[in-house]
Structure 1
Amino acid sequence: MSDLISILQKPITIEKNASLSHAISELLKNKISRLIVTENGSSVGIITEKDVGLFLLEDDSEKNLDEIPISQIMNILTSVNESMSVEKCVEIMLEKEIGSLGVTSSQKGLIGIITKTDIARYYIQNYANKHTVGDVMTISYVSLDYETSLRHVVSEMIEQKISRIFLKNQDNEPQGIMTFRDLFHVALEQGNTDAVLDSSDPAISVVFTRKGFLSDSGFGNTIKAKDVMTSNFESVDFNEDLTVACEEMIQNKINGVGVRINGKLGGVVSKTDILKAIYIDNRSK
């Protein structure tokens, strides 16, 4: 059995004619970051947490989420043969900037999918004691005041092209983190209603039609980041072996963890950094 066969997973699927609301519900329910899109039993594409997140962040329509088909958002699924090495798969994922690959067999077609999570498990089994967290972490990270409006946080995520942002109080102390999954919960709560109540001014309540996160009058401007953020986020010390970060991400079903330097938040390490560590090791061989 090849290493690739041993780590692939059976994908969770969704029909091409399903709504965006249903796709978000499936991602949240299963705590996963992608769904294989099928039509008449055959795979026709993929929809990822990132695809949905970026669409929601930029959407300013008045359609509710049940009216938006996933066919409007899905992308082509990149696939590899079952005989390919895991290391070559890592190279392809980094080159194409994607988080998963379909795995095909000449006899059976699509037989599974590998994701960055599967690569993280592979790293634990095959690359222990190769790198510390500090070797591959990203030192810079984006943060905002947790009193900031959700709209401003979303705008920053779009501008910086990031899927997570740390939130701090006035004393510059980390209070939480905002990710696409936090935004998905807001989208499901607010995005299928015909109107949104703005009670930001205690003297008056105004009802607006839904216009997404970025609208001047939509729910993104009336909700504060602190009301949506995840208050507790995982972190590891920069001196620890990278496998420790892998285990934290796998156990908590998250894509990145904070990195502590001398007890303070000093950066972030993600599953993409784990792929880069594998790539660096094999490029030097």
Structure 2
Amino acid sequence: MELMDIVSAPVKVVEKSEPLSHARNVMLRNNISRVVVTENEEPVGILTKTDMTRGLQQDEPKWKRRPIDKIPVKRQMSKDLITIDSSADISEVACKMINHSISGIPVMEDGNTNVTEKNKIIGIVTKQDLTEFYSKTNLNKRIEEIYSNEVISVHRHHSLNKAVELMKKNQINRIIVIDGKNSPVGIITNSDLTFANFNEVKKGIKGKELELPRKTKKAGEKKHRSVDKNMFVAEDVMSAPLITIDIENKTKEAAKKMVEEEISGIPITKNNELDGIITKTDIVEDICNEKL
């Protein structure tokens, strides 16, 4: 299979002067995770869900925060646009994604495919495209060979800000949500954060009042403190029920499940207990390593 067989086209673009709200709507309408940013019709950057999620962590007081329709795309976009030639190998694309820690690469006409003018964008290749390619290979590898057994989690009643901070600190795009018994109950991704809560402070999601226990006093009685009902917590935006896959399965089966469910990572179970996670990044890295 050649690179041009898996390229997604046409590419969705936004001008760098347009507001983030417009870029968000383009992503929603087209069910995509990134758009190419242009200036005078020339590509100058890329904007992803991860870039937009950074807008959730505004340090200013609530009353000073800029609404999404007042923030220009150029403020949040990634300016160093990484591209690849149309005649490159699929494994070369995968390696470039891993080396630059990116999830999508615009494909440029290099004069060999003659799809459009030389040095113009033909399309884009994403981790989704590479994962779908991987799911159709004859590779007979087990999940335990490439998955990560380090799982970052957040309690279902922890604040959204804590979830975002943990994701940023650990440089991950998803976090597992657990209950009081440390059982996984859901997952939060950049998509959940960007599209459910981006406009101001989680607007449109119903709040709730929680009671959390304080430290036990000497007499053994637990006192509870009320939490502001306008505080939004992990379970307000998590995706549930949680989709999992057993560690005994093959990697290409995990890839197929991610494509079918349109998700970027699947928690791994071992003896019905949470044991790790496999992501599209793991799949793309394996394409690079195996030179598929």
**TM (normalized to structure 2)?**
0.81
Structure 2 segments unaligned to the other structure (5+ residues) = 112-116, 212-227
Taking the aligned partners of 1:38 and 1:97, their CA distance within structure 2 comes to 21
1:95: which partner in 2? 99
Structure 1 residue 74 displacement after superposition:
1.2
Structure 2 residue aligned with 1:115, among 101, 108, 126? Answer: 126
For the residue of structure 2 that corresponds to 1:50, the secondary structure is: helix
Structure 1 residue 221 displacement after superposition:
7.4
Structure 1 residue 177 displacement after superposition:
0.9
2:264: which partner in 1? 255
Structure 1 residue 27 displacement after superposition:
2.2
Bigger helix share = 1
Kept in 1: contact 2:176–2:186 (CA 8 A) = yes
Structure 1 residue 58 displacement after superposition:
4.8
1:40: which partner in 2? 40
Taking the aligned partners of 1:63 and 1:251, their CA distance within structure 2 comes to 37
With over 3 angstroms needed to count, the CA separation of the structure-2 counterparts of 1:232 and 1:30, relative to structure 1, is farther
2:249: which partner in 1? 240
With over 3 angstroms needed to count, the CA separation of the structure-2 counterparts of 1:155 and 1:188, relative to structure 1, is closer
For the residue of structure 1 that corresponds to 2:245, the secondary structure is: strand
Structure 1 residue 230 displacement after superposition:
1.2
Taking the aligned partners of 1:12 and 1:233, their CA distance within structure 2 comes to 30
Kept in 2: contact 1:149–1:221 (CA 8 A) = no
2:159: which partner in 1? 149
Taking the aligned partners of 1:15 and 1:6, their CA distance within structure 2 comes to 28
For the residue of structure 2 that corresponds to 1:259, the secondary structure is: strand
Structure 2 residue aligned with 1:164, among 174, 193, 210? Answer: 174
Structure label with greater radius of gyration: 2
Taking the aligned partners of 2:42 and 2:198, their CA distance within structure 1 comes to 28
Structure 1 residue 232 displacement after superposition:
1.7
Kept in 2: contact 1:259–1:265 (CA 8 A) = yes
Instruction: Summarize the alignment of residues 135-146 of structure 1 with structure 2, pairs less than 5 Å apart.
Output: 135-146=145-156
Structure 1 segments unaligned to the other structure (5+ residues) = 203-218
Instruction: Summarize the alignment of residues 262-273 of structure 1 with structure 2, pairs less than 5 Å apart.
Output: 262-273=271-282
Kept in 1: contact 2:174–2:187 (CA 8 A) = yes
Structure 1 residue 259 displacement after superposition:
0.9
With over 3 angstroms needed to count, the CA separation of the structure-2 counterparts of 1:225 and 1:198, relative to structure 1, is closer
Identity level (%): 28
1:4: which partner in 2? 3
Q: After the TM superposition, list the runs of 4 or more consecutive aligned residues in structure 1 that deviate by more than 6 angstroms.
A: 196-199
1:207: which partner in 2? none
With over 3 angstroms needed to count, the CA separation of the structure-2 counterparts of 1:232 and 1:28, relative to structure 1, is farther
Kept in 1: contact 2:177–2:184 (CA 8 A) = yes
Taking the aligned partners of 2:76 and 2:229, their CA distance within structure 1 comes to 21
Number of residues of Structure 1 aligned to a counterpart in Structure 2 = 263
Letter in 2 for 1:172: N
For the residue of structure 2 that corresponds to 1:251, the secondary structure is: helix
With over 3 angstroms needed to count, the CA separation of the structure-2 counterparts of 1:139 and 1:197, relative to structure 1, is closer
**TM (normalized to structure 1)?**
0.83
Taking the aligned partners of 2:280 and 2:124, their CA distance within structure 1 comes to 16
With over 3 angstroms needed to count, the CA separation of the structure-2 counterparts of 1:84 and 1:254, relative to structure 1, is same
